[in-house]
Each structure stands twice: as structure tokens, then as C-alpha cells.
């Protein structure tokens, strides 16, 4: 029996065990790899700025601050997403519309 026939046959069960676990594992691996790569890029970027600015302290401090913000964003993207989700879910669900009374047409004439 072909795969298409198995999928559309109501009597057969298509077993996709482990797919969600596999996706979650790969997502975690990608997240960890992204964090490692971002850390390495930050260090390289700070070194490049230091060399290009001839080791000027102000430029190095700005590069460290930018690298720190970028790393904070990469490491805390799920926390920020959760906070935004909490704020959206905490918003009132009902909206009340107030309708102003109509002005009679003979007023002001």
C-alpha cells in the first residue's frame, strides 16, 4: 500500500511518534548554537572596534555596551516574549462603546 493510500485510509493509523520531541530538541539546539555564535560575534566585534579605533577607550566601551545589549536580547528573547504575552492576555477582553446622543436638526437655526 502506498503512503498516500495509508494516509487517506480511515482504517489505518499513521504513527508520527517523536516528531514533536524531535522538533523541540532541534529548536533547543538551534537556540544554544545561536547564543554561542552571538557571543563569539560579540567578542570579535569588540576586538575589531578596538583595533580600528586604535584602542580608544570610548569606542571600546560603546562596542561593549552594544554587544551586551545584543547578547541580552538573544539570551532573553523568550522572557520578553512571555512578558508581552502576559500583558496581552491581561488586557480587558470587553470593549464598551459610548454613543453620543444625536443633535436635533433644528438646533442653531
Is residue 108 situated within a structural domain?
A: no
pTM above 0.75, yes or no: no
Is residue 105 situated within a structural domain?
A: no
List pLDDT tens digits, range 29-56: 999 999 999 999 999 999 999 999 999 9
Q: What is the arithmetic mean of pLDDT over 13-31?
A: 81
Is residue 97 situated within a structural domain?
A: no
How far is the CA of 27 from the CAs of 30, 69, 97, in angstroms? 5, 23, 44
Is residue 83 situated within a structural domain?
A: yes
Residue 50's domain spans which residues? 3-90
Cβ neighbours of residue 53 closer than 8 Å, sequence gap 6 or more: 59, 60
The three cell numbers of residue 84 are: 508581552
Which residue has 547578547 as its cell numbers? 71
Spatial separation of the C-alpha atoms in residues 47 and 62, rounded to whole Å: 12
Is residue 45 situated within a structural domain?
A: yes
Is residue 67 situated within a structural domain?
A: yes
Is residue 98 situated within a structural domain?
A: no
Is residue 99 situated within a structural domain?
A: no
Q: Report CA dihedral (57, 60, 61, 62) to the nearest 10 degrees.
A: 120
Amino acid at each position: 500500500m502506498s503512503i498516500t493510500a495509508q494516509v487517506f485510509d480511515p482504517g489505518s493509523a499513521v504513527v508520527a511518534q517523536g516528531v514533536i520531541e524531535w522538533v523541540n530538541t532541534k529548536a533547543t539546539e538551534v537556540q544554544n548554537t545561536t547564543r554561542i555564535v552571538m557571543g563569539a560575534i560579540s567578542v570579535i566585534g569588540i576586538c575589531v572596534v578596538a583595533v580600528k579605533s586604535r584602542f580608544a577607550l570610548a569606542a571600546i566601551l560603546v562596542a561593549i555596551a552594544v554587544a551586551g545589549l545584543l547578547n541580552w536580547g538573544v539570551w532573553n528573547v523568550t522572557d520578553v516574549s512571555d512578558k508581552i504575552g502576559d500583558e496581552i492576555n491581561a488586557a480587558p477582553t470587553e470593549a464598551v462603546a459610548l454613543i453620543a446622543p444625536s443633535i436635533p436638526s433644528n438646533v442653531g437655526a
